[in-house]
């Protein structure tokens, strides 16, 4: 039995919740979990240099298969020596499988057993993605962690539709495993679906766990359902997954959702939120969101967050950052992006420390008290 490309080491289970302290070992390093993964959709975490991501403690970052397939093309990235070489990032990289982007971006034509026919969102060109094609692109990109090709059904779809969808997604997962060329250096994760239906989540998890993936993602969430509904699905889904493998919740996100996901046994998260809201001047702070472009901060010479130790908060004021954003100075976006990413990475550091000392629920109460 060859060693899989990615292994998970469970260090400690929280006494009072489903939270776990662990480490994930990849060909590009070992990283502490629970972890937040900055999103670098087109091989760049928007406005951030790799050195800045490293200094704020990012370990694994994301890139999107659909976008890189369209531009610059996986063959060009492969010729460059793979994503790590191409974007000068020597730590962890995770690629999604394009499915979700197709459903959320492209003009969808139709889903068949074979795969998904759709139109390129840039030029209307007809395209086709199958499990085999998606896995081949991810192999060429060279990510340490690859995601299976799945369908993310609408959360409120009917039981019958979602049942058919998860059964096809399981067949697609098996096809992806067979098509995967580099299991020794790239770990392919399975994606559990099933909407809000416990029986379907159990069926999807059973199918995928029997395929013995090195890690599992919980899909079909953070797609418009309430936080309560997401937490409820997590309550009965994470226990279905192997304890000795990482669990990844895609598209999450906000500080409260991260804490509640960790409490329910999730180890890895990604979300575009921090950099996306940063670009319109919204900052995450320990006291909730702060829209630094607002006029009330024009003469506010305090840092974005007085409790934050990041580069932006140590060197610049709300007034200065507001001025930069109001005058379309690019440096303004860099400072808000840096701060928001640092805020979430630092939150994960605090969460890991709280798990270590069995005080995660106290930390949650203190955090929510301030965050509002």
Ligand X SMILES: CCNc1nc2cc3[nH]c(NC)nc3cc2c(=O)[nH]1
Binding site for ligand X (CB under 6 A): 96-97, 99-100, 147, 150, 152, 191, 219-223, 250-251
Q: Is 256 a catalytic residue?
A: no
Q: Is 150 a catalytic residue?
A: no
* Contact (CB, 8 A) for 223 and 195: no
Residues contacting residue 160 through CB under 8 Å, at least 6 positions apart: none
The conformation of residue 286, written as its DSSP 8-state character, comes to: T
Residues contacting residue 178 through CB under 8 Å, at least 6 positions apart: none
- Nearest C-alpha neighbor of 358 from the set 16, 49, 112, 4: 16
Q: Nearest approach, Cβ of 195 to ligand X (angstroms)?
A: 10
Cis peptide before 245 (omega within 30 of 0): no
Between CA 271 and CA 62 the distance in angstroms is 9
The catalytic residue among 144, 150, 267, 270 is 270
Q: Nearest approach, Cβ of 152 to ligand X (angstroms)?
A: 3
The burial class, CB within 10 Å (0-12 / 13-18 / 19+), for 301 is exposed
As given in the structure block, the two tokens for residue 170 are 């399981």
Helix (H, G, I), strand (E, B) or coil at 225: coil
Q: Nearest approach, Cβ of 162 to ligand X (angstroms)?
A: 12
Query: With respect to ligand X, which residue has the nearer C-beta, 152 or 208?
Result: 152
According to DSSP, the residues that pair with 216 across neighbouring strands are 190, 247
Q: Nearest approach, Cβ of 5 to ligand X (angstroms)?
A: 17
Query: With respect to ligand X, which residue has the nearer C-beta, 111 or 361?
Result: 111
Query: With respect to ligand X, which residue has the nearer C-beta, 14 or 225?
Result: 225
Query: With respect to ligand X, which residue has the nearer C-beta, 143 or 360?
Result: 143
Query: With respect to ligand X, which residue has the nearer C-beta, 38 or 332?
Result: 38
Q: Nearest approach, Cβ of 236 to ligand X (angstroms)?
A: 17
The burial class, CB within 10 Å (0-12 / 13-18 / 19+), for 218 is buried
For ligand X, the nearest residue by Cβ is: 251
Query: With respect to ligand X, which residue has the nearer C-beta, 88 or 280?
Result: 280
CA contacts within 13 A on the Cβ side of 62: 25
The catalytic residue among 96, 144, 207, 267 is 96
Helix (H, G, I), strand (E, B) or coil at 26: strand
Q: Nearest approach, Cβ of 240 to ligand X (angstroms)?
A: 16
Task: Return the active site residues.
Answer: 96, 270
């Amino acid at each position: 039995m060859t060693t899989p490309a990615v292994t998970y080491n469970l260090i400690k289970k929280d006494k009072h919740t489903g939270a776990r302290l662990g480490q994930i070992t990849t060909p590009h390093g070992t990283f502490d979990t629970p972890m937040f993964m900055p999103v670098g959709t087109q091989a760049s975490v928007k406005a951030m240099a790799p050195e800045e991501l490293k200094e704020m403690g990012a370990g694994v970052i994301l890139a999107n298969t659909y976008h890189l397939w369209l531009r610059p093309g996986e063959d060009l990235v492969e010729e460059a020596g793979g994503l790590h070489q191409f974007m000068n990032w020597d730590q962890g990289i995770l690629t999604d499988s394009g499915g979700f982007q197709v459903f959320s971006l492209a003009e969808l034509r139709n889903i068949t057993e074979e795969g998904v026919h759709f139109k390129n969102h840039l030029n209307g060109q007809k395209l086709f993605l199958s499990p085999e094609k998606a896995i081949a692109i991810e192999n060429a990109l060279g990510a340490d962690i690859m995601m299976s090709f799945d369908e993310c059904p609408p959360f409120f779809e009917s039981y019958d539709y979602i049942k058919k969808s998860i059964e096809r997604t399981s067949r697609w997962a098996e096809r992806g495993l067979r098509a995967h060329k580099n299991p020794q250096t790239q770990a392919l994760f399975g994606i559990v679906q099933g909407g809000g239906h416990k029986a379907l989540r159990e069926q999807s998890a059973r199918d995928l766990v029997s395929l013995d993936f090195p890690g599992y993602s919980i899909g079909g969430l953070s797609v418009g359902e309430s936080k309560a509904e997401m937490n409820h699905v997590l309550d009965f889904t994470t226990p279905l997954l192997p304890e000795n493998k990482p669990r990844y919740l895609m598209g999450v996100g906000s500080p409260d959702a991260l804490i509640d996901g960790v409490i329910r046994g999730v180890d890895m998260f990604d979300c575009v939120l921090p950099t996306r809201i940063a670009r319109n001047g919204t900052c995450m702070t320990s006291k909730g969101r702060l829209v630094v472009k607002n006029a009330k901060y024009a003469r506010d010479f305090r840092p974005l967050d007085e409790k934050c130790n990041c580069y932006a908060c140590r060197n610049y004021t709300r007034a200065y950052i507001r001025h930069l954003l109001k005058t379309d100075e690019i440096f303004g976006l860099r400072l808000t992006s840096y701060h928001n990413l640092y805020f979430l990475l630092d939150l994960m550091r605090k969460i890991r420390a709280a798990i270590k000392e069995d005080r995660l629920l106290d930390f949650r109460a203190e955090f929510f008290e301030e965050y509002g």
